[in-house]
A and B are shown apart, each in its own frame.
Chain A
């Protein structure tokens, strides 16, 4: 069965600092991997996804993530945090086998201080 572990329920950074949100997954077959962002009282918005091909994936708002099969990781990074990046971030995995059903991590809340 698939699973996702997000290390750290809260991450705090200063504006302009590097953002690193960690995600490790478990899957018995090649995975599809996703990062979503959620602002308060809103739905989730897709930041980026990995399906096949290039392992470094670029998404919206300057975020990127690298699929590392050997480490079963898909960490999310951004070189320089903005105040507007403060939100909750969810990593998700699905298996590359027919019908897609995403399994989500428990989320990481990013706090950005001036």
Chain B
């Protein structure tokens, strides 16, 4: 079955470390997105990509980086510059127009 796979489900980061969250889709969708979810704040867009080798900053891109070398993959790196990285991270994909998004099951990142 087609879908989006996020890994790992839980991730712990020490202060000053960079960590990378994986997102893979087999839906043949062109567009992919990363959202951050905090209690009471809904979903906030970090980065999105409309096509391979191209991506744009969302509303809260500071302290994050992405790459889109393959259509199927859109990894997110949380850098040490992100001062408050503890959150639930959601990856999504879409065909780009209409239709809505398909979401992965999320990665919960905790700073220890």
By size class, the interface of chain B is 20 to 34
Q: Which residues of A contact B2 (CB under 8 A)?
A: none
B98–A100 contact, CB under 8 A? yes
Q: Which residues of A contact B99 (CB under 8 A)?
A: 49, 100
By size class, the interface of chain A is 20 to 34
Within 8 Å of chain A (Cβ to Cβ): is B87?
no
B48–A101 contact, CB under 8 A? yes
Q: Which residue of B lies closest to A96 (CB)?
A: B98
A34–B100 contact, CB under 8 A? yes
Q: Which residues of B contact A99 (CB under 8 A)?
A: 31, 50, 96-97
Q: Which residues of B contact A107 (CB under 8 A)?
A: 42
Binds A, one of B14-22, B60-68, B76-84, B104-112: B104-112
Q: Which residues of B contact A36 (CB under 8 A)?
A: 103
The interface residues of chain B, by DSSP majority, are classed as strand
B106–A100 contact, CB under 8 A? no
A52–B30 Cα distance when bound, in Å, is 23
CB-CB under 8 A for A43 and B90, given A32-B98, A49-B100, A99-B97: yes
Within 8 Å of chain A (Cβ to Cβ): is B55?
no
CB-CB under 8 A for A98 and B90, given A90-B43, A104-B42, A106-B42: no
Q: Which residues of B contact A9 (CB under 8 A)?
A: 40
Q: Which residues of A contact B41 (CB under 8 A)?
A: 106
- A interface residues, Cβ below 8 angstroms from B: 9, 32, 34, 36, 41-46, 49, 51, 90, 92, 96, 98-102, 104-107
